[in-house]
Amino acid sequence: QKEVEQDPGPLSVPEGAIVSLNCTYSNSAFQYFMWYRQYSRKGPELLMYTYSSGNKEDGRFTAQVDKSSKYISLFIRDSQPSDSATYLCALRDSGGYQKVTFGTGTKLQVIP
Amino acid sequence: KAGVTQTPRYLIKTRGQQVTLSCSPISGHRSVSWYQQTPGQGLQFLFEYFSETQRNKGNFPGRFSGRQFSNSRSEMNVSTLELGDSALYLCASAGLINTGELFFGEGSRLTVL
C-alpha cells in the first residue's frame, strides 16, 4: 500500500465549477500538508501549506485536513481555464526536513 | 530573484552510460533536494543536501548519487543507466525555515534508449 493515495483523474469541469481534489494517507507521522500545482513542462509550485487539522483559505483555494481520518482535500471555487494543471498533494513528517512524499497527482482540465 | 536553474533541460543517453545533472538553487537557499518524476510512480524523493552534507536519502539504488558544493549548487549522477531511469529529474531548493516548502526547477528530462 502506498503511503499516499490520490485519484489520478483526469478531471474535466466547466468554467466556474467547484473542484474537489482529495488524498488519503496511511502514515500518522505526517504533520505538514501541502498542495502543489504543476503545469505541463514545468516544475511543481506550492499552492497551499498547513500543519493542523481544519481549513485554510487563500483566495479561491481552500485546503482541508482531517488528521483523524488521514484525509486531505483541496477545493477550488469559481474554477478558471488557467487552473488547468496537475495537482499534487504532498506530506512531510516533523523530522523529514525537505523529504516530501507526494501523491501521484490529479490532472484537472477546466473547460471554458 | 532568480529561481532554481537546472541543466541540461533535455538529454538522451543509451543504456550503460552515465549522466550528470546540475542544479543551481535560489540565492541564499542551502538545502537542495532531488526528485524523480515518472508517469507511473509520480514524484519520488531521491536525496537532500544541506551545507554539502547528505541529510536524507530515498529508496533508490546506489547508481544514483549526488553532491553539493560550497556555493550550494548540486549535481546528481546516475551510472550504468537503465531504460527505467527515463524520467523527469526535478531539483528543489528550500530556505532556512523548515516548512517543507520547496521551490522547484523546471527539471531535466532524461531519455534512456
Average predicted confidence (pLDDT) for chain B: 93
Q: B74 and B66 in contact (C-beta within 8 Å)?
A: yes
User: What is the CB neighbour count within 10 angstroms for residue B69?
Assistant: 12
Residue type present at position A58: D
Rounded Cα distance between A98 and B92, Å, is 9
- Which three cell numbers mark A7? 485519484
Q: Looking at beta carbons, which residues of chain B come within 8 Å of A43? A: 4, 90, 92, 104-107
Which one, of A107, A103, A64, A105, lies nearest residue A83 by Cα? A107
Per the model's pLDDT, the better-predicted residue between A50 and B16 turns out to be B16
Does residue B90 belong to the interface with chain A, where contact is any CB pair within 8 Å? yes
Q: Looking at beta carbons, which residues of chain B come within 8 Å of A32? A: 99-100
- Are B101 and A44 an interchain contact pair (Cβ–Cβ within 8 Å)? no
State residue B100's pLDDT score.
Answer: 65
User: What is the CB neighbour count within 10 angstroms for residue A44?
Assistant: 28
State residue A99's pLDDT score.
Answer: 84
Beta-carbon pairs below 8 A across chains A and B:
64
Is B31's pLDDT higher than 80?
yes
State residue A41's pLDDT score.
Answer: 87
Rounded Cα distance between B53 and B32, Å, is 10
**Maximum separation of any 2 CA atoms in chain A, in Å:** 43
Cα B68–B53–A99 angle (5° rounding)? Answer: 90
**A101 to chain B, minimum CA–CA distance in Å?**
7
Residue in A49, A99, A101 closest to B48 by CB: A99
A2: confidence class by pLDDT, cuts 50, 70, 90: confident
